[in-house]
Amino acid sequence: MDLDVAGMGRSRRLSRRVADAAFGEIRRRLTYKTRRHGTRLIVADRWFPSSKTCSRCGAVKAKLPLSVDVFECDTCGLVLDRDENAGDNLVAIATTCVTRSTGTGAAGDLDPAAVVGSKPRGADRKTRTTR
């Protein structure tokens, strides 16, 4: 899942914890290792409602507060832990992407067009050498 690390870093409550977790470094290493081993990194869109979408029927809830731990689908009646439901939806995205791009379902097939999501930004300004 692609995270808005810069946005979380601007939050007064989260900035130090986000910096300590080094999410950008984790993403950079994953990208490097997948290219090195000839595999693929599939990244879901940062705004994909993985925890609001029913993993069985695909219905999307309009609102689901963070305080709710159990996902209950109003359409098909599925009752599941919120995190398990989100995980099932992300697995479905990866499976769909792999099957659609290669036709074989083999996760090791290298196809750069199958990588979903934005590219890492990197440094967009030069570092000041003197003050």
DSSP string, 65-126: -TT--EEE-TTT--EEEHHHHHHHHHHHHHHHHHHHHHSS--TT---GGG--SPPP----SP
**What's the pLDDT score for residue 86?**
94
Mean pLDDT of 67-93: 94
Structure confidence at residue 21 as a pLDDT band (50, 70, 90): confident
Backbone angles phi, psi at 8, to 5 degrees: -70, -30
pLDDT at residue 3, rounded to an integer = 67
pLDDT digits (tens, 9 = 90+) for 88-130: 999 999 888 876 655 444 444 444 444 444 444 554 555 556 6
pLDDT higher at 103 or 32? 32
pLDDT at 17: 78
CA distance 73 to 52: 9
Do the beta carbons of residue 106 and residue 98 sit within 8 Å?
yes
Helix, strand, or coil (residue 53): strand
Is residue 115 within 8 A of residue 107, CB to CB? The reply is no
Question: Does the predicted model carry a pTM greater than 0.85?
Answer: no
